[in-house]
Structure 1
Amino acid sequence: MSDRPIEVMIADDSAGVRRAFTRLVNSDPRMVVVGEAADGRAAVSAAVVKRPDVVLMDIRMPTISGLEAAREIIDSVNDVRIIIVTTFDLDEYVYEALRIGVSGFLLKNAPADEVLRGIVTVHEGNAMLAPEITSRLMARFSARREPGPVAFGIDTLTPRELEVTKLVARGMSNAEIAAELYLSRETAKTYVSRILLKLELRDRTQLAVRAHEAGILGAER
């Protein structure tokens, strides 16, 4: 990890919320707020200029929605990670956010330490979802009666890559995958990186969504 603090941008139409998150983030020596935005369009413009590591993004804002702003930021800023922070926890928002490449999804009433942990987690390339959101999202996929099409690129994976993908989709870390498949941790990490590159995905969150969409977990046993 670099000694440079994680640069964070806050995008929310409430000045009070922006102040609260700014105080919280700046209270942690591992990170610093480098910009704020009060609407979706301003968030995109600020992100392009500031190029933050992580954006805390409200989902409902003036001009354009948080989801649309997130999509434009992801397309314009390399390696940015976005956490959607909102009072709304409707499944369709979660699902669409994950599909476009958002790395985290937290509720505004989340404890302060959970928000700070989320920033560090997504900055390290992992996903951060509130537990209650994760359980409902996985239940939604599990309720599918028929597998989705494998044309998502899953059918290009080798048998070993497919095994790794299934374990990622179950939320396993590289260390857990290594133990499950009797691999070294570095080998497990290499497999995950190779799969992401092959499927042109940003992170493990998108890989989990892709696997569930393709129905590969329900296809085994």
Structure 2
Amino acid sequence: MEKIMNNKLISIVLVDDEERFREGLRTLLTFYSTSASFAVNIVGEANCVEQVVKLAIQKNPDIILLDLELVNSDGITAIERLKDISYAGKILVLSAHQEDDWVFQAMQKGASGYVFKNRVANQLCDAINTVLRSEIYLPPEAASGFFRCFQQNASAVSKASHQLHLTEREQEVLQLLTQGASNDEIAKNLYVTVATVKAHLTSIFEKLKVSSRTQAIVTAIRLGLVQA
């Protein structure tokens, strides 16, 4: 397989609460390096959210290999925390969880790929190459579950929006609002004026029967009007 990143060392952090699994990953990554797939530098290991956040800040690795079962927490929380600190690398989930909703949550929160642990030996090399090309890695057995949940989630959002008579533009404004965007940011994102954004917000507030941005966000999440 062709080397990537112009032979640059790929810095990786291993995150799993099982030492034996991390040991297996180290062996597998060493094999990739010696077989000329790509050169790997493991810059840290963690078994909890706080540790991985600390390593992300200190080491800024190219990739974080992340389990979804961690000490005193979970990988979904870790992804959210990494997003909060603006971690710019790739998060590749390696999990024993094969349920549709786990795959969907991880990808929706910002993971770049998802690999089932029982397929790691066969898929990890391809997964790493894929995410480092800024592409999404989902093997067929994970992709089908993700798209099932995506369709269900999109259908629920559409149904709730229809019942409240939200227009397509109001749905877009509401989605950006729940992501913390200001009026100026919403206007730039949708290529409209700030006055237009304010008019949409007034209409949204009326339909949701709320009087503030915070109330609108809480209500939108509670009613399932926005995608996670």
TM-score, normalised by the number of residues in structure 1: 0.64
Change (3 A) 1:7 1:198: farther
Which of 73, 81, 87 matches 1:64?
A: 73
Judged with a 3 Å threshold, the aligned counterparts in structure 2 of structure 1 residues 145 and 36 are, in CA distance, closer, same or farther, namely closer
In structure 2, which of residues 42, 47, 50 is the aligned counterpart of residue 33 of structure 1? Answer: 42
Consecutive unaligned residues in structure 1, runs of 5 or more: 156-196, 200-212, 216-221
1:114 Cα deviation from its structure 2 partner: 0.8
**Structure 1: how far apart are the matches of 2:75 and 2:137?**
17
**Structure ranking higher in helix proportion:** 2
Match of 2:114 among 105, 108, 111: 105
Q: CA deviation at 1:86?
A: 0.9
Report SS of the residue matched to 1:73. Answer: helix
**Superposed displacement of residue 2, structure 1:** 3.2
How far 1:214 moved relative to its partner?
Answer: 8.9
| Distance (whole Å) between structure 2 residues aligned to residue 111 and residue 105 of structure 1 | 10
- In the TM superposition, residue 77 of structure 1 has moved relative to its aligned partner by 4.5
Aligned-partner Cα distance in 1 for 2:62–2:112: 12
Query: How many angstroms apart in 2 are the aligned matches of 1:198 and 1:2?
Result: 35
CA RMSD of aligned residues (A): 2.9
Which secondary structure state, in structure 1, belongs to the residue aligned with residue 44 of structure 2?
strand
Letter in 1 for 2:25: F
Partner of 1:125, secondary structure, is: coil
Aligned-pair CA distance for 1:111: 4.2
Distance 1:61 1:147 in 2: 31
Q: Is the 8 A contact 1:7 1:32 kept in 2?
A: yes
TM-aligned CA distance change 1:108 to 1:82, over 3 Å: same
Cα distance change on mapping 1:126 and 1:214 into 2, 3 Å: farther
Distance across 1 between alignment mates of 2:66 and 2:76: 8
The answer on whether the counterparts of 2:49 and 2:73 sit within 8 Å (CA) in structure 1 is yes
Deviates more, 1:106-115 or 1:54-63: 106-115
Which ranges of structure 2 fall in alignment gaps of 5 or more residues? 162-167, 176-187, 191-224
Work out the CA distance in 1 between the residues paired with 2:105 and 2:15: 19
